Structure 1
Amino acid sequence: MIVKTLRRGAQQVALLGLGIAALAACETVEPPVTYPNGDQTRVPMREPVERDEERFATVPQQRRSEVVRVAILLPFSSTSENIDTVSASMLKAAQMVAFESENAKYVLIPKDTGGTAEGALSAAEEAVREGAEIILGPLFSESVDAVASVARPMGIPVIAFSSDSKVAGDGVYLLSFPPEAEISRVTAYAVEQGYARFGLMAPFTEFGDRVAQSFSTEVYQRGGDIIHTERYERAADAMIEPAKRMAAYAVETFTPDYVTPRNMGMNAGYRQDQESRINGDDPYMVSEPETAGSMAMSGGYQAVLLPEQGRLLRALAPLFPYYNVNVREVKLLGLSAWNNPLLTREPALNGGWFAAPDPSLAEGFKRRYEAAYGERPPRLASLAYDAALLTARLSQLPYDRRFSVETIANPNGYLGADGLFRLRADGMVERGLAILEIRPSGITVVDPAPRSFVTAPDQTGY
């Protein structure tokens, strides 16, 4: 159990209750310590977020040469029970690293953000006063901005769990599951298999906007074309008419069309050339072609991306065969949210491809987590595990190297709970993803995830 393991030495933080504890704000300010940029200025005290004091542990008072303090900031006491549960699971996953690594110098310091930017700011200031060399978290983009305002002046890196690219960079790294990486992988694989003309159905959401932008860029750069796009409100009834319009642009028979990549530096962005037909109240809308029905006879789309999930995906997919799209000829494409065994029961999705972490690697982490805590981890738990694993390994390096940009953004990457990943100097994450296919018998890997990034040898990867 957690407490038993953490009692190995005074260096480890004792775990209380269910493992959702955060550390109390210090009553007094310690003598100044030298931060990564050489600054010894104390961070001013702020009124701490209201917390239950019985849930706190005390930070050991070892010197920097004796311990490496790593703060993890999560919304343990948010207004959402679901977020509280996910945060607790992420903390448990991070604590697994301390147990598995047996690194006596590694001290994980949990801090509660309360799910707000103000709470994140207060938690970050506490972490800095207590000597944190690096911060893991928080979860929400507004909170990441608040934490960065404290960490950047001190030269303290932040590995956050948001997927909002606007908060990345200048010492803030986003370890998350951005849709852009999955879109790139599934598009590249489809193009390699001879799919050159694509359709897209995306919701009227910020996520849908990101998908539309990324998919258009990927398709264009790889030499393909987007034939038609439809947008919809996220409700089953609201999908019917867009799906009907979408169906008019599908090919009747798939014939492979192998294309040559375009200049990667030209027109990176949403393409609206004469072969891209976009309908609906879409921010990229152009005029509807007069000969829409004829597209199926010649240049209709051969594959369509459906970045939907769960119940709504099970409502959307059957609309294609209902409106006479042959889903054995037109390939349905998706993202990692398709990795759901329930989707194997939907005939329209059989044969569909999606990009996701390698399930064999992810299953290993899930088994270890379940053995430790008696429950299966939610999806985001692996992010906290990977962030803690990265910092635990790097904590063994000399102080001036362990959390430098060059070390964190190692081009060779790291092998974590979900497979290969690497953090870039601009703060974004790249992942080595597999291509999976939905079949009636289950979800199967059809193109394995890479096990290494092709770069010069280096010693600091896992």
Structure 2
Amino acid sequence: MIEAKSPMRSARLRFSLALAASALLAACAVVPDQGRNQPSNQPAPPPPSLPTDVGRNRVALLVPMTGINAAAGQALANATTMALLDTNATSLRITTYDTGNGAAAAASRALADGNRLILGPVQADEAQQVGAMAHNARVPVISFSNDAGVAGNNVFVMGTVPTQSVARVVRFAKARGITRFAALVPVGSYGARVSNALIMATKASGAMLVGMESYDQSRNGLSNAVRRLKARGSYQAVLVGDTARVAALAAPLLKANAPAVRILGTELWGTDAASTQTPALYGAWYAALSDQRYPRFAESYRQRFGDTPYRLSTLGYDSVLLALRIAREWQPGTLFPTQRLYDRGGFLGLDGIFRFNDTDVIERSLEVREARWGTASVVSPAPTRFED
């Protein structure tokens, strides 16, 4: 059942993902208790603002339903509705709380209402605020952020992090004979994460990192960084740790005297059409979530809600599948069995298999794509299971 603290469209049509969602749930696995955060079997007192639940677990969805990010928040909320409808779920009560007026206020209301699991919020700073509030209540937060720095203390990061996309594309490039890497990264927290990821990835693969230059958003920032990078020595591939649109500006400069250099991208390219619309980026490689199941989801979403979903809305869908899988062993009124999130075999969702590591950051199975004219071809499919 879905309840909303803010308006939400819901028009259920014939087209359904029921069979697919049931298969995804059936493929999920749970390992025996490994001694993490033992849940209490004492039922929590029912909150005054919601009806008493006997057979359902309370789950809060914290997303922006007002403000500049309201459209993305609505897409996430719609996707959670789809997941419940497609699976005919009756074990969860999901209530939506608007973070548009502040994540802390939304979290305070969600905790007061007796929710024992929080899905969201989206922004890293919001996840930190909510996590601090939920920690004392022993309520885990499965954030949709892609910043691994906010993970820990019962906050789990479900968004795709650059560390994994960089590692995946570097391993692929190394297997194709590339041994000398370089990088251009933006100034800021995301650029810092990409930089650290590339250092670790090249070291792990036995490759050489020839040079790395950062750039700001000034008019000449990118071109100056390219000039400095070229002075570092020869390299076979350059990772541009930014959107494909920015990489499209850098690629002609990088290839001016070295047309054979391979351009590499990050997970940001997965939703950026510029990668297939710029000749200088043709042949570029990047790692992203698998789109194998996404078209069917998107079509069902359009028929239900009359709109095209945001790509991140699958996070809402998959987080509900995850909660439903664990709800099979989660008695209503008790604390969420957090240790079940650490299953090494992983879980299956629309975006492929995933699991949480011991740092509370999601590990995903990513595919590698090659940018071509008007499209991106999969040159290395996403693995279907974890090897360790």
Question: Shared topology, TM-score over 0.5?
Answer: yes
CA distance in 2, matches of 1:248, 1:325: 13
Q: 1:279-294 residue pairs with structure 2 within 5 A? A: none
State the partner residue of 2:8.
Answer: 18
SS state of the match for residue 107, structure 2? helix
User: Post-superposition shift, 1:418?
Assistant: 1.5
Q: CA deviation at 1:154?
A: 2.2
1:422 maps to 2:355: yes
SS in structure 2 at match of 1:318? helix
2:268 aligned to 314, 337, 346, which one? 337
In structure 2, the residue matched to 1:53 is none
**Corresponding position: 1:231 with 2:214:** yes
* Structure 1 residue aligned with 2:58: 69
When structure 1 is superposed on structure 2, of 92-101 and 159-168 the one drifting more is: 159-168
SS of the counterpart of 1:387?
helix
Q: Distance in 2 between matches of 1:207 and 1:184?
A: 15
Distance 2:382 2:222 in 1: 33
TM-aligned CA distance change 1:72 to 1:140, over 3 Å: same
Inter-CA distance 351–448: structure 2 relative to 1 (3 Å threshold): same
Cα offset, 1:89, TM superposition: 0.9
Question: In 2, are the aligned partners of 1:396 and 1:402 still within 8 Å (CA)?
Answer: no
Counterpart CA distance in 2 for 1:174 and 1:393 is 18
1:311 aligns with 2:253: no
Structure 1 residue 143 corresponds to structure 2 residue 126: yes
Choose which of 354, 376, 385 in structure 1 pairs with 2:286: 354
Please list the CA deviations of residues 381-406 of structure 1 after superposition, one character each: whole Å capped at 9, or x if unmatched.
11111111211222122429994233
Shift of 1:236: 5.2
User: Which of 155, 172, 182 is 2:138 aligned to?
Assistant: 155
Q: C-alpha distance in 2, partners of 1:418/1:439? A: 22
Alpha-carbon deviation of 1:248? 4.5
1:260-299 to 2 correspondence within 5 Å? 295=233
Is the contact between residue 187 and residue 216 of structure 2 (CA under 8 Å) also seen in structure 1? yes
Partner Cα separation in structure 2 for residue 189 and residue 180 of structure 1: 14
Structure 2 letter corresponding to 1:309? T
Cα gap change, 1:391 to 1:41, in 2 (>3 Å): closer
The Cα RMSD (Å) is 2.7
Residues 139-182 of structure 1: CA distance to partner in whole angstroms, max 9, x if unpaired?
Answer: 22232222223322222211111223232113211111111110
Q: CA deviation at 1:12?
A: 4.8
Distance 1:160 1:351, change over 3 A: same
Secondary structure in 1 matching 2:96: strand
Q: Does the Cα contact within 8 Å between 1:395 and 1:402 map onto a contact in 2? A: no
What is the number of residues matched between the two proteins? 359
Given residue 332 of structure 1, which amino acid in structure 2 is its aligned partner?
I
CA distance in 2, matches of 1:414, 1:239: 40
- 8 Å contact from structure 1 (residues 332, 352) kept in 2: yes
Q: Does the 8 Å contact 2:2/2:81 carry over to 1?
A: no
Aligned to 1:370, which of 278, 302, 305?
Answer: 302
User: Which of 205, 215, 232 pairs up with 2:188?
Assistant: 205
Answer 1 or 2: higher relative contact order, Cα 8 Å, separation at least 6. 2
Match of 1:175 among 146, 154, 158: 158
Q: Distance in 2 between matches of 1:444 and 1:14?
A: 40
Separation in 2, partners of 1:350, 1:12: 44
Residue identity matched to 1:75: P
Contact map agreement 1:74 1:115 (CA 8 A) in 2: no
Equivalences for residues 111-122 of structure 1 within 5 A: 111-114=97-100, 116=102, 120-122=103-105
> What SS is found at the alignment partner of 1:360?
coil
How far the C-alpha of 1:360 sits from its partner, in A, is 1.7
Match of 1:434 in 2: 367
SS in 2 for 1:317: helix
Contact 1:333 1:354 in 2 (8 A): yes
Q: What amino acid is aligned across from residue 206 of structure 1 in structure 2? A: S
Deviation of 1:358 (Å): 1.2
Match of 1:106 in 2: 92
Change (3 A) 1:165 1:15: closer
Aligned residue in 2 for 1:86: 72
Contact 2:6–2:97 (8 Å) recurs in 1: no
Tell me the SS of whatever aligns to 2:304: helix
Contact 2:288–2:367 (CA<8 Å) still a contact in 1?
yes
Q: 1:390 to 1:40 in 2, by over 3 A?
A: closer
Gaps of 5+ in 2: 11-37
* Residue identity matched to 1:382: T
Cα 1:150–1:406 shift into 2, 3 Å: same
Aligned to 1:302: 236
Alpha-carbon distance in 2 for matches of 1:109, 1:41: 17
TM-score, with structure 2 as normaliser: 0.84
1:404 aligns with 2:337: yes
Deviation of 1:115 after TM superposition, in Å, equals 5.0
Pair 40,145 (structure 1): closer, same or farther in 2 beyond 3 Å:
farther
Residue 16 of structure 2 aligns with which residue? none
Shift of residue 224 of structure 1? 1.1
Give the whole-Å Cα distance in 2 for the aligned partners of 1:156 and 1:348.
Answer: 48
Instruction: Kindly state the Cα deviation for residue 15 of structure 1 after the two structures are TM-superposed.
Output: 8.9
Which whole-Å CA distance do the structure 2 matches of 1:342 and 1:166 have between them?
A: 29
Q: TM-score, normalised by structure 1?
A: 0.72
Q: Distance in 1 between matches of 2:297 and 2:218?
A: 34
Residue 441 of structure 1 and its aligned partner are, at CA, apart by 5.1
Change (3 A) 1:68 1:93: same
